[in-house]
Structure 1
Amino acid sequence: MKKFSLIAVMCLLVSVMGCNQSSTTTDQASDTAGSSATDDHGHDHPHDGETDHSVEGHGHGVGPHDGTIADWGGGKFHVEFTVNHDKQQATVYVLGSDEKTATPIDAESIELAITDPEMQVVLSADPQEGDPEGKSSRFVGTHESLGVVQEYAGTMTGVVDGTPYSGDFSEEAHDNHEH
């Protein structure tokens, strides 16, 4: 029942705060198509230049850490998901509206919910060099299931200045694992 309640709350957050009020992974997965860069496996991804968050299904490029980007708050923030399978570790970077600039937030942790295999991971603040005292733009957590080499999809949630944010992501469009 606890797992169901958490999923229900996360779905509510996604529907309220998600990218352009989109609440489905399918919509968010289409958000990841149409952006461009060459990932660490040499795959080319089309890029449309500047991201227009007013357009439903807008694209996000590969993040500055070769991760998959999701929207928080209609483009106010972006979060970048990366995984290191060898360390069974996920790292999420908080970025600004430009999808590139590290944006430290006042939070001790954010939550990662992966859909397959189903897992919940609390990512703790791990400030990067240059992050001000008490804020972090990087969050790290481990889970044994992250050792599985596959395409992950899920939701990243957190609270910034009392406002809850949530964003769906899918690696399928990016194929960008760290090995």
Structure 2
Amino acid sequence: MEVVRCGWSEKDDLYRKYHDEEWGKPVYDDETIFEFLVLESFQAGLSWYTILKKRENFKESFDHFNYQIIAEYAEDKVEELMNNTGIIRNRLKILATINNAQKFQEVQKEFGTFSKYIWNFVGGKPIINHPKTLQDVPATTEISDALAKDLKKRGFKFLGSTVVYAHMQATGMVDDHVVDCHCSNL
């Protein structure tokens, strides 16, 4: 019997594995949430597939997404990253990652965990949308608009509403699996 997935995930095994094992599954631990914030911010203007193919390189290059270490990166580390062909070499995005690691920790101090802060925007549980087709999946919502606005107010960078909505999908705050997908929560 053929497994039915969301159409975007059928590019190759890497995409299928990501779709089946991660996308839309709720994430509550700060470390993984931060990883996706980094990856999504680098994805801005590029395809998610490009980022997914480079994910392991990002992980190695950015100290396994340890936000405490990243928050302390100095210019020499920025230059090292700018010379790293295994990642997206964009100075503004690298600097934004360092900034966002610092802001991430500020939010943790205020709310106890970043997870508690971000999940408050959806009432602590996933929003399950049941789209019939990929065309029914929005690029942004009122919630992603509000979250992006709040993140910006807190000093985060490269996290506009479209990037934030993609993050919400990746971390299961929103479940946008199409109704006939085997991962759908119908």
* TM-score in terms of structure 1 length: 0.29
Q: TM-score, normalised by structure 2?
A: 0.28
**By percentage of residues, which structure has more helix?**
2
Which structure has the greater CA radius of gyration? 2
Name the structure with the higher strand share: 1
